[in-house]
């Protein structure tokens, strides 16, 4: 690995990150009034699908004066040779850094940094406290939340922020990104699935028949955003991981109506309680597999008691759909990074891995060393079964149901290489492994689930595809690969490269 995180270059706030994107030509500000009713979503989706710069909406219909909205960031760029520059620079890396090098640098920085206690600011010092709504002033409809897709069940305010909550005993503070929709001026509802950490904590409060204090921080710093879609173990605070990545304290400030600490540099803070004994319908919402579900689910009502915000606040948005957009990159990159760490800690011979963005992060591509057999003494069957049982019995295995295991010659982030390896190296019978006994289900919003699976909330389609050219012929020579890089002598390749442009080809 040649890339290393430069912590001094990590933007310290979402606003600073947006300014950096503007300087890099990765951001377009729209000064015309834009309608929250589908128009914002259409602009966002077209920008994502054409790899255009990130849109910033400076004037949104019906929004309170000064409120803006913007692409969360981290999507794919069309800049030549730098497709992952929006992700790289948010972690202090050069814009040309390849995706797998970004992952290695990110993991290294988190593991080599130390968690630092928060630097707690007085409210007068915290940018997120510059303005405050309480009582009848609170009107969530004045925040420029979009009706993002044609068919959504409402205006989704929370798609790219941090839900922040604590266990009743205060021992665990959890950050998570879980979508939430506006019900009325002072009420929201969002997803609180029991298998997810926020749902686990809500279950503890529900057992005590108590309302749960809760806050939502929108427009947080890049190091906080890295943990928004992470899959770290239960009872580990995402704050600790963010401060380890930065290797210094984060500025935090106490909420107005509870003791919850929130990032002081956030654009908008929504405070309230998750009410015991109440429900509101949530959904549908177009999601990252690229489809609109057709069901709603009852979730607890979130009653808003206070809203604080910066001057001219910016609401970050993630409007998922067909790949690739910022939802695929943020979820795919950070979940796969946590997954690689978990697999290595379990003693599995894994180099790296990536949730393939072009596959709507439904494929987890894991790269293993050529000498995995010599290292472990395992047969292929033993290796693949250990891999599947390790992954799908941990928190990291909640969202994906298909694993592709490739050799070290395949870049897990290169869709062309992955498709070639899958097509040419996986045997549909002998090197394909199913795990019907495990409970992992995916997210349930994939388009392939049958009615029985959905009714039972139990998947039967967990599968590992071993895409290893020498899979069951350990010790025999690998077949020669017919590529420019691998098949020709160095002098021949160099002559071709030296004359390439002179012959009329473009570099």
Nearest to 83 by CA among 413, 418, 367: 413
User: How many other β-carbons are positioned within 10 Å of the β-carbon of residue 199?
Assistant: 16
Q: How far from the centroid of its chain's Cα atoms is residue 253's Cα?
A: 25
The CA radius of gyration of the chain, in Å to the nearest whole number, is 23
Alpha-carbon distance of 324 to 288, in angstroms, equals: 9
Q: What are 420's two structure tokens?
A: 């070639």
301-309/187-190 β-pairing: antiparallel
Beta carbons within 8 Å of 43's beta carbon, 6+ residues apart = 30, 34, 55, 57
Beta carbons within 8 Å of 346's beta carbon, 6+ residues apart = 390
Say whether 174 sits in a helix, a strand or coil: strand
295 is catalytic: no
Alpha-carbon distance of 248 to 92, in angstroms, equals: 15
Among residues 282, 287, 358, 446, the one annotated as catalytic is 287
Per the CB < 8 A criterion, the answer to whether 468 and 425 are in contact is yes
Alpha-carbon distance of 273 to 295, in angstroms, equals: 25
Peptide bond into 324 cis (omega under 30): yes
Nearest to 177 by CA among 161, 157, 193: 161
The β-bridge partners of 161 are 218
- The DSSP secondary structure of 347-402, one letter per residue, reads T----EEEE-GGGTT-EEEEE--TTHHHHH---HHHHHHHHHHHHTTSGGGGS--E
Per the CB < 8 A criterion, the answer to whether 77 and 326 are in contact is no
Provide the angle, in degrees to the nearest 10, between the axes of the packed helices 380-391 and 326-345.
Answer: 120
Mind telling me the catalytic residues? 287
């Amino acid at each position: 690995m040649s890339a290393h995180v430069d912590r001094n270059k990590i933007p310290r706030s979402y606003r600073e990150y947006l300014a950096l994107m503007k300087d890099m030509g990765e951001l377009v500000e729209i000064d015309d009034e834009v309608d929250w009713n589908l128009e914002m979503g259409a602009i966002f989706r077209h920008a994502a699908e054409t790899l255009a710069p990130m849109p910033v909406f400076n004037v949104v219909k019906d929004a309170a004066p000064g409120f803006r909205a913007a692409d969360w960031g981290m999507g794919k760029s069309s800049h030549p040779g730098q497709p992952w520059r929006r992700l790289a620079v948010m972690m202090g890396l050069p814009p040309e850094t390849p995706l797998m090098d970004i992952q290695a640098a990110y993991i290294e920085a988190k593991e080599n940094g130390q968690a630092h206690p928060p630097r707690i600011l007085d409210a007068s010092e915290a940018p997120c406290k510059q303005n405050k709504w309480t009582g009848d002033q609170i009107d969530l409809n004045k925040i420029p939340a979009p009706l993002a897709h044609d068919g959504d069940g409402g205006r989704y305010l929370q798609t790219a922020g941090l839900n922040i909550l604590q266990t009743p005993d205060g021992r665990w503070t959890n950050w998570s990104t879980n979508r939430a929709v506006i019900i009325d001026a002072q009420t929201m509802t969002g997803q609180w699935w029991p298998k997810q950490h926020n749902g686990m904590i809500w279950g503890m409060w529900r057992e005590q028949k108590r309302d749960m204090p809760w806050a939502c921080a929108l427009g947080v710093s890049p190091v906080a955003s890295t943990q928004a879609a992470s899959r770290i173990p239960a009872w580990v605070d995402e704050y600790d991981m963010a401060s380890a990545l930065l290797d210094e304290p984060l500025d935090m400030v106490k909420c107005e109506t509870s003791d919850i600490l929130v990032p002081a540099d956030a654009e908008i803070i929504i405070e309230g309680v998750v009410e015991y004994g109440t429900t509101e319908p949530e959904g549908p919402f177009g999601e990252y597999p690229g489809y609109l579900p057709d069901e709603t689910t009852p979730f607890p009502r979130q009653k808003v008691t206070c809203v604080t915000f910066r001057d001219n606040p910016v609401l970050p948005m993630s409007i998922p759909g067909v790949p690739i957009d910022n939802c695929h990159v943020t979820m795919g990159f950070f979940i796969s990074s946590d997954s690689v760490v978990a697999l290595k800690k379990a003693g599995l011979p894994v180099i790296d891995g990536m949730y393939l963005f072009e596959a709507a992060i439904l494929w987890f591509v894991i790269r293993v060393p050529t000498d995995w057999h010599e290292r472990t003494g395992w047969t292929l069957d033993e290796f693949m079964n250990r891999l599947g049982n390790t992954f799908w019995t941990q928190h990291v295995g909640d969202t994906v149901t298909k694993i592709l295991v490739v050799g070290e010659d395949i870049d897990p982030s290169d869709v062309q290489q992955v498709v070639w390896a899958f097509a040419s190296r996986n045997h549909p019978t002998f090197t394909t492994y199913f795990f019907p006994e495990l409970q992992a289900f995916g997210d349930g919003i994939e388009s392939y689930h049958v009615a029985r699976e959905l009714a039972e909330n139990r998947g039967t389609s967990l599968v590992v595809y071993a895409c290893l050219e020498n899979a069951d012929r350990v010790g025999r020579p690998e077949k020669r690969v017919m590529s420019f890089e691998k098949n020709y002598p160095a002098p021949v390749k160099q002559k071709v490269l030296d004359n390439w442009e002179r012959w009329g080809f473009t570099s």
